[in-house]
Structure 1
Amino acid sequence: MNETRRPGGKPATINDIARLAEVSKKTVSRVINNSPFVKEETRKRVEAVIAEHGFTPDPQARGLAFRRSFLVGMIYDNPSPNYVVNMQQGVLDGVRGSGLELVVHPCNRASETFLDQVRGFVVRQKLFGVVMPPSVSEDDRVIAILKEADCPYVRIASVSLDGPECMVVTHDSRGAAQAARHLAELGHRRVAFISGPDYFRSSHERGRGFREGLAEHGLSLDDAYIRQGAYTFESGVEAAQSLLAMKEPPTAIFAGNDEMAIGVMKAARDAGLDVPGDLSIVGFDDLPMASRVWPNLTTVRLPIRDMGRMAAEKLTARSRGLDPATLVQPEVDPSLVVRDSTAAPKG
């Protein structure tokens, strides 16, 4: 084989690989991009040259040839850093080995420039596709931008909002109903709910499911025992302080996510209460922190990392010519994980 360094010590180009493998530049591109339109013998020869000489195609250069980059975007506005990190890990799991890379775009849906920023991100990066966790996934204005840019996408949401090829559905209400049944079966009657932000569909779905689960046991959720949080630790502390200061405080609190549930734990300790002796606490998501705090948090498990992986796999299926609607399970069933933060109320 000839040396793959060009004069001046520059790395080899795709033209060099084509020359060494005695094929066209277009054939090398097809091999790099896993095209099915290459003979197996030719593919092996080109791959051998690439492996021997350590040629690594630049993702942006590859994208120029195909009028689209080899980047998967993740657009999110979730205030929970633990949720975001787990989702990112899942997307990385899903694109591994596909030649695609992940680029993230945090945003604020309340910003006046939100839509312009999303549009600029999608157009500048020439994205191969986009994964959207809640609540960006619930915004039809973003979907309109992606369709206008002819950019494939997958939405992760608590209810179905699109065709199965574009959705991972998490059924949050089912998980919240399980939390309600658990507290009711322990004997709690004064129960409270701390919701997430109003613009998150999951806030409403989790509240709806919690009410339905209580109703199955002849209980109702009194409006006086409802507080709105922001899916943050701090908002959990503040909401719990308000609830625990009531003349008849709740004996159990269901928080809309684990960040807020751990904030409830802090407020309870600050008030001199024992968890779960004086107050039972249930969260939602089952982030890694749920099993690391003390007492370990009873929570509703959503496999967040798996959700990111499933969404990314729907996008990579397109690159292989597969039907993303049938490739992976489009729905997720939440499940209650009972740990040490819940018990029967005193008396």
Structure 2
Amino acid sequence: MSTRTPRKATVYDVAAEAGVSIATVSRALRTPDKVRPKTRDIINEAIHKLGYVPSGSAQGLAAQKTGSLGLFLPNVDELDTIEDFNPENQDAATLQLDPPDERPQANSLYLDEVLRGCELESWRQGVSLMVNVSLGRADADVTQIANDMAGKVDGLLVMARSLPDHVVDFLSKRMPLVMIADAPTSIPVDLDLVRVSNRKGMSALVSHLIESHGVKRLAYLAGPNDSPDNHKRYEGFCEALQSHGMTYEAAPIYRGQFSQSIAYSITKDLIARSTLPEALVCANDQMALGALEALDEANIDIPGQIIVTGFDGIDETNMSAPRLTTVRQPMRNLGRAAVQLLMQRINNPSEGSQSLELPVTVLLRESCEGHLDPIG
């Protein structure tokens, strides 16, 4: 006995059942407030009776909108290639030792939170979110992928460093686009932008180290040279030193690349050479966690012998030993604000560009302050 899939009801069937024109049905679906209530009720009854499901793509074409946003993220885990994956169809369980010296990497935690914020706000706004990652791809490939995505969405959210500047320039002239973290530096473009107070946050933290703890020898564990966050944070580091009559050129800079494992190795080397500063100021939390681990292995007292600080405020910093002093930025709200700004741009394309800067909070914890009594 064969079965046949019943024919799906169409907008033509709904119009015939309701006794109205196709244009009226379409208008009732797109802008129901512009259709008389009695007519709208008749159309809804016909839709329910026939089991009609509106076509999202058709509605999008009619309204010249897709109901989707695109998000471009940079290389989140620093891999150049991804191996082929072939899933095993096997009902099995395997025991495997997990040695404690295998340090987990957390390079994408910041982006995870920003992405979550974009997802939440997209849901709240009633639109879907398409995500792409420029994972070790060549410039030409990234350009092609960006162009393809641009044809499927109403607007783009672009995290700094995820697309070449010339691609951002091209896309911004074609469709609504919001930059997250920073705008392109090599081309003069006037774009909507959402970022956090990186410079002010780092300056406030370093000023506290100098004023409250009398720190005079500091070192800076930096991120990638092309990171706008790293650039602004280093500006804040230098600003604090200069405002306290200190020479920032004398403070060593170590290239940790925002990597926990690289920061671990750098700190191990500083310990071996007996060149630890009084305070190791890290441009992100992952590097600070790597430094804490290396110092703990060497039985170096924190903060008695050295102060360690981070930046971002990821959850792991509240569980480290000692808990990490850090600058918490509103990562999830950064994503939400970017989506809100993009929706404003889509709905009001002629308005001037906006630049939002979200405040940060310096969280003073045990890696800087020593013992703190628990709340309550």
2:160 corresponds to 1:145:
no
Larger mean Cα displacement after TM superposition, 74-83 or 15-24? 15-24
**Could you tell me which residue of structure 2 aligns to residue 84 of structure 1?**
111
Q: Secondary structure at the match of 1:126?
A: coil
- Out of 35, 38, 43, the position equivalent to 2:34 is 38
Look up the match of 1:155: 179
Matched with 1:340 is 366
2:125 maps to 1:133? no
- 1:9 pairs, out of 6, 16, 35, with 6
Cα drift, residue 106 of structure 1: 0.5
CA 1:61 to 1:247, structure 2 compared with 1: closer, same or farther past 3 Å? Answer: same
What is the match of residue 226 of structure 2? 199
**Structure-2 residue corresponding to 1:75:** 72
- Cα gap change, 1:68/1:76 in structure 2, threshold over 3 Å: closer, same or farther? same
* Deviations, residues 79-102 of structure 1 (Å, cap 9, x unaligned): 332112211111122222433111
User: Is the deviation greater in 237-246 or in 171-180?
Assistant: 237-246
Deviation at 1:248, TM superposition (A): 3.2
Q: 293, 298, 301: which is aligned to 2:320?
A: 293
Task: Tell me how far apart the structure 2 counterparts of residues 47 and 281 of structure 1 sit (CA, whole Å).
Answer: 66
Distance 1:28 1:154, change over 3 A: farther
Conserved? CA contact 1:170–1:334, under 8 Å: yes
**What is the aligned partner in structure 1 of residue 215 from structure 2?**
188
1:321 deviation in Å?
A: 4.5
User: Per-residue deviation at 1:16?
Assistant: 4.6
Separation of aligned partners in 1, 2:46 and 2:324: 51
**TM superposition outliers: structure 1 runs of 4+ over 6 Å:** 322-326
Task: Report whether the alignment pairs 1:315 with 2:324.
Answer: no
Return the letter of the residue paired with 1:335.
T
Aligned residue identity for 1:249: L
**Between Structure 1 and Structure 2, how many residues are aligned?**
332
State whether residues 76 and 107 of structure 1, in contact with CA within 8 Å, keep that contact through their aligned partners in structure 2. Answer: yes
The alignment-based identity, stated in percent, is 27
| Change in CA separation of 1:97 and 1:294 when aligned onto 2, cut-off 3 Å | same
* Deviation for aligned residue 1:215: 1.8
Using the alignment, how far apart are the partners of 1:284 and 1:43 within structure 2? 58
Contact 1:122 1:146 (8 Å CA) reproduced: no
Partners of 1:50 and 1:320 in 2: CA distance:
31
CA positional deviation for 1:37: 7.0
Q: What is the DSSP-based 3-state SS (H/G/I as helix, E as strand, rest coil) of the residue aligned with 1:230? A: coil
Name the counterpart of 1:240.
267
Q: CA RMSD in A?
A: 3.4
Amino acid at match of 1:84: L
Compute the displacement of 1:309 (Å): 0.6
**In structure 2, how many angstroms separate the alpha carbons of the residues matched to 1:154 and 1:293?**
35
TM-aligned CA distance change 1:19 to 1:259, over 3 Å: farther
Cα separation, partners in 2 of 1:25 and 1:193, compared to 1, 3 Å: farther
Counterpart amino acid of residue 169 in structure 2: A
Alpha-carbon shift at residue 307 of structure 1 (Å): 0.9
Residue-by-residue CA offset, 1:40-78 (whole Å, 9 max, x unaligned): 737963895599577654544443444553221110115
Unaligned stretches of 5+ residues in structure 1: 1-6
